[in-house]
Amino acid sequence: MRRLAVALTLGLAVLAAGCGSPSQGTVKGVYEEVGGPPMHNHGLHYISGTVTLSGEPGSYRFKTNAAGRFEGSLAPGEYRVTGSFCNNPFPSSVIIRGGEVTHLTVGCSIR
């Protein structure tokens, strides 16, 4: 009987550990200039640079490719958004949730 109680306790502990919130979220995004002269891609000019997400969980830097795209894993939390070559990117903040993919378009006004 004692073995059964120990086995049940261990089983419940393993089950509870598996039900916890995931420790990482994923961000997939694009960094683009807006407000300039019309371009062949619907007025958008993608920025090859760096997007930084900074917050209580830490600071994460994502290098964009030539198409302005970036992707990576980071701890859940609320982050301030900054971008290279841009003083006032929008949106200015984003919330990352564990186990979820957050799609983020970071715009940089050139006006």
**DSSP structure string for 47-80:** --SEEEEEETTEEEEEE--TTSEEEEEE-SEEEE
Domain spans of the chain, in order of start: 24-109
Comparing 7-11, 45-49, 95-99, the range with the smallest average pLDDT is: 7-11
- Containing H/E element for 3? helix 2-18
- 59-74 pLDDT, tens digit each: 999 999 999 999 999 9
- 73-92 pLDDT, tens digit each: 999 999 999 999 888 899 99
CATH 2.40.10.120 fits 24-109, yes or no: no
And the tokens for 90?
């929008």
Question: Which residues have C-beta within 8 Å of that of residue 35, sequence separation ≥ 6?
Answer: 109, 110, 111
What is the pTM assigned to this prediction?
0.74
